[in-house]
Structure formats: structure tokens, C-alpha cells
Amino acid sequence: MIKKFYFLFGLLFISLLALAFVYGEDLFGVNNLGNPNWILPTAIYMENNPEAPLGSAYVVEETGSLEESPDPFWWLDSGAMVYWVGDHFFTIQGDLSSDSRWWREYAGSNPFDTDGGYHPQNLFRLITKKKWQDHQQETYFKVNQYWVSDTPSRNESNGVLLISRYVDDDNLYYAGLRVDGDIVIKKKRDGEYSVLAEKKILAGEYDRSYNPNILPLNKWMGLRLETINQENGDVLIIFYLDLFDRGDWQKALEAVDKRENNPLTEESHSGIRTDFMDTEMKGYKIKEI
């Protein structure tokens, strides 16, 4: 009788996993994950574990401040949730379930930029808790889906980006690949953006309605950013690409933020930004130089 019970229980468990695989739903309330590699690790998830060993899965949820984040290394400033499986991590994939408290939060606070609360990942901002002075950071991105949202916030400046010298949401540098095929280095100082360098590298003409994303889908691309104070008070920013995931890093863009332009020189946080897309990332590294 006991053996029969365990057999039936095991059969029920396998059936539930099979349903999760078919219908693309996991215990985090995310639908249409698409890639079965995301299903099994998250389906067996039981509790948040910021110090989970390599190969296990855990989630970090958005908090209102860096100090509130339970993770020892990261603060999710925006985007509702970020998932880790080993050295891979990714935004919400597909539609957030309307049963999720994060759907209710974003549907109420910012329905325009998040498609009625279903896509908090449209505003993904992940920040290191540790501060860095002169440093190099890198990671590989894979864009799995681009969301053609109606909001005016969706535009050619969206992309996959690395953040440095993050003081707060209004004071930072970032560099990366934009959906219009440009690479860019920008500064945000007291809420005002300025372009420090920009160059077209991907073929194709951007159009908000008819060609809203030139970035390749389902392809790994490496981004590396160096931010270095100079003796004269300038800040040197160098952006590298490994566009074909070959370990072949090439300098792609360089900018100098001059001392007279009030550069960001203080030790500050770093991080990652993605806009209006489901993104997977792997191999994040950061070090002082």
C-alpha cells in the first residue's frame, strides 16, 4: 500500500512538471517562459537563498532602497524580480501573472511603461551593493523578446547597457548597445542626459513602428566597460564588445568626461540596465583596475 502511494505521488509530481513545461508556468508566477532550461530550476525553487551554491536557483526581488535588499551583492532597483541559475541570471520572461503582487504594484504605479503591469522587466535596473572606483565590468547579454510597448518611453535609446559611477537614479554613466544599432556612452548628471560618444555598428534603419529593434534576438553578445579617473580630473570611459560570443574583445568606443564638465569621480555603484525586453545574462564580472 505504501509503495503504491509513493508511486502515485511520484506520478502526480512528474505530471505537474510536465504541465509546467507545456504551459510555461513556474512557481514565480511568470508565464510563457519559452526556454525549457528555465522551467526545471525554477519549478523546484522553494525559498529565497541569496547564497545559493552554483547550479541552484534563487530570486532577488525589487526593494525600495539598496539597504533593504536581502541579497549580499545586488540591489534590484526596478524590474520586480531577477532570477539566478548558476552564473546565468535573467529578467522576468513573458507576461507576469495577474496573481503576482508585482503585477498589482506595477499596474497601479506605472501601467504605461509596463504594458498594464504585465512587463515590469521593461524597466530593469540591477545595481551592485559594493562601490567601485576605477574598475572594469563585463557580462554577456541575450535578448529573448523585445516588447513593442505603446509608451513614449520606448524609443531608439533603449538597449542593453552597463552602468558605472551610479550615485542615484539621476547621476551615473552608462554604455551599451541600443535598439537602433548604435553603441553609446552617456552621462546622467542631476537628471540631465548628455551623450559622450556614439557610433552606428549594426546595419538597419530604426523605425519605432516598423523596425523597432535592430539588436539580434537569441544571440549572446558581450559588453565590457572600463571607468577610470585621470590625474588631471577627467574621467576616461572605454567600451568593449565581444559581439559574436567568441571571447574576442574589441575596443568599440571611448569617451573622456572633462574636468570642466563636472564628471562623476567618486567611488560609486555599478550595474546593469535593459529596456523593454526579456533578457538573459551570464558571466558577470567586475574588478578594480
Residue 160: C-alpha distances to residues 71, 106, 176, 275 (Å) = 23, 22, 6, 7
**Strand order in 192-200's β-sheet?**
74-78, 123-128, 269-275, 159-168, 171-178, 182-189, 192-200
Q: How high is the pLDDT of residue 118? A: 96
The answer for residues whose C-beta is within 8 angstroms of residue 45's C-beta and 6 or more apart is 26, 27, 28, 57, 58, 59
pTM over 0.95: no
Q: How far apart are CA 229 and CA 133, in angstroms?
A: 8
Q: How high is the pLDDT of residue 163? A: 98
Q: What is the pLDDT along the chain (289 residues), one digit of tens a residue?
A: 544 444 444 444 334 333 333 333 333 333 333 333 332 233 223 234 444 444 457 889 999 999 999 988 999 999 999 998 878 899 999 999 999 999 999 999 999 999 999 999 999 999 999 999 999 999 999 999 999 999 999 999 999 999 999 999 999 999 999 999 999 999 999 999 999 999 999 999 999 999 999 999 999 999 999 999 999 999 999 999 999 999 999 999 999 999 999 999 999 999 999 999 999 999 999 999 9
Q: How high is the pLDDT of residue 165? A: 98
Letter string b/e over residues 163-176, b meaning 16 or more CB atoms within 10 A of that residue's CB: bbbbeeeebbbbbb
Q: How high is the pLDDT of residue 85? A: 84
**Domain boundaries along the sequence of the chain:** 1-107, 129-289
Q: Of the CATH numbers 3.40.50.2000, 3.90.1150.10, 2.60.120.560, 3.40.50.2300, which one belongs to the domain with range 129-289? A: 2.60.120.560
Q: How high is the pLDDT of residue 129? A: 95
Q: How high is the pLDDT of residue 7? A: 43
Closest of 6, 245, 21, 38 to residue 138, by C-alpha: 245
